[in-house]
Amino acid sequence: MVTCVEPKRPYDFRQMLQRPLSRPSKGMVINREDYSLTKAVRLASKVLPVTVSAVDQADGAILRYEYPDGLTPDEQEALNARIGHMFSTSVDLGGFYAVMLNNPRWSGIIRRFYGVRPLHDDNLFECLIKVIVGQQMTVRFAATLIGRLMDLVGDAVTWHGARIPAFPSPEQVAALSYEQLTSLSFSRRKAEYVIDMARRISEGRLDLDALWAMSDEMVIDQLTLLRGIGRWTAECFLLFGMGRKDVMPAADIGVQNGIQLLFNRTVRPGEAEIRELAQDWRPWRSYATYYLWQSLIDFA
């Protein structure tokens, strides 16, 4: 089956793929020939391969996604919503650009990444685990660890003759032992964070979907009560998982490097100063963050 949607303009799918291209990961297959992205999406209990690409039309890009036949109407609707969320199709960037172009420092970066939107994770569990694994690690090594986790557990689907691995479910991760992860070069502590979190979720002691109804600050308050989640992790979860628009992980080393570069500073700015600066970027701080990260790809 094929479905096409027309994202809000401007929409630059090709540039949006630059981040995943610069840090290849096991769960996301990108074809450099036609700039398509294939991923196994968890839909309720199903694992569904989906290939997404952009068709360039004279009046703007059309997002096209292909998936297996036989979905129920409910599943179809859920998939449409999921794709819209993952690829930020309905966000109106006009507000963001209006705010940022008040600051001449941003005009170059905005022009350069015009039409770029965040790519969000398929589901909240996947996002949370990825962010935890990514704490205090190079992005590349974090992707290696996630890949090893997916080799160890997780379903895979066959799609057009290729094997597409899926990120494991909470139950699958919950069934692991700490030793299984430390043998993959997870630190002992991180193995505990990841498995304990999965157990908390699979046993019903943590309901990630309940977070959808909460404000950003409430989500941060709730999640940082849990061992292994600090403010940075909660903020990245809001940004990459929930798609919240006004989050600034000011303690992030990448954000700090990006601002140092953009503002031409000799010293890397600290968290407090960045939170102060970012007041001007409300209510689009997530997008400012994302563009800062995007600007660092060349230096990776």
Count of residues that interact with DNA, criterion CB under 7 A: 35
Q: Are 140 and 25 in contact (CB under 8 A)?
A: no
In the shown chain, the binding pattern of residues 34 to 73 toward DNA, with x for contact by CB under 7 A and - for none, equals ----------------------------------------
67 secondary structure, DSSP code: -
Helix (H) and strand (E) counts for the chain?
15, 7
Contacting residue, 26, 64, 231, 244, with DNA by CB under 7 A = 231
Are 117 and 15 in contact, with CB atoms under 8 Å apart? no
Which range of residues in 92-100, 155-163, 234-242, 280-288 is near DNA by CB under 7 A? 234-242
Q: Is 221 a catalytic residue?
A: no
Please, what is the minimum distance in Å from the beta carbon of residue 75 to DNA? 29
Does 148 bind DNA (CB under 7 A)? Our answer is no
- Is 144 an interacting residue with respect to DNA (CB under 7 A)? yes
- Measured CA to CA, the distance from residue 289 to residue 249 in angstroms comes to 8
Strands across the sheet containing 46-57:
2-5, 60-66, 46-57, 36-43, 28-31
26 binds DNA (CB under 7 A): no
233 binds DNA, rule: CB under 7 A:
yes
Which secondary-structure segment (H or E) carries 51? strand 46-57
Residue from 7, 11, 16, 19 touching DNA (CB under 7 A): that is 19
For the chain, the first-to-last Cα distance in angstroms comes to 37
- Piece in contact with DNA (CB under 7 A), picked from 80-88, 99-107, 224-232, 276-284: 224-232
Token pair 């569904």 is at which residue? 48
CA pair distance 289, 75, nearest whole angstrom: 33
- Say whether residue 254 binds DNA (CB under 7 A): yes
CA distance 96 to 107: 12
Could you tell me the two tokens for 35? Answer: 């700039």
For DNA, which is the closer residue by CB, 173 or 238?
Answer: 238
Q: Which of 34, 252, 280, 298 is catalytic?
A: 252
Show contacts with DNA in window 280-299 (CB under 7 A): 293
Q: Is 18 in the site for DNA (CB under 7 A)?
A: no
Tell me: does residue 236 bind DNA (CB under 7 A). yes
Residue choice 105, 140, 163, 282 for contact with DNA (CB under 7 A): 140
Partners of 46 in the beta sheet? Answer: 43
Asked if 117 is part of the footprint of DNA (rule: CB under 7 A), the reply reads no
Q: Residue 129 has which token pair?
A: 């685990």
Q: Which residues of 93-112 are buried (b: 16+ CB within 10 A; e: fewer)?
A: beebbebbeeeeebeebbee
User: Is residue 257 close enough to count as binding DNA by CB under 7 A?
Assistant: yes
Q: What SS3 class is residue 2?
A: strand
Interface stretch with DNA, choices 49-57, 100-108, 132-140, 201-209 (CB under 7 A): 132-140
| Footprint on this chain of DNA (rule: CB under 7 A) | 19, 23, 131, 134-141, 144, 182, 185, 187-189, 224, 226-234, 236, 240, 251-254, 257, 293
Q: Would you name the residues annotated as active-site residues?
A: 252
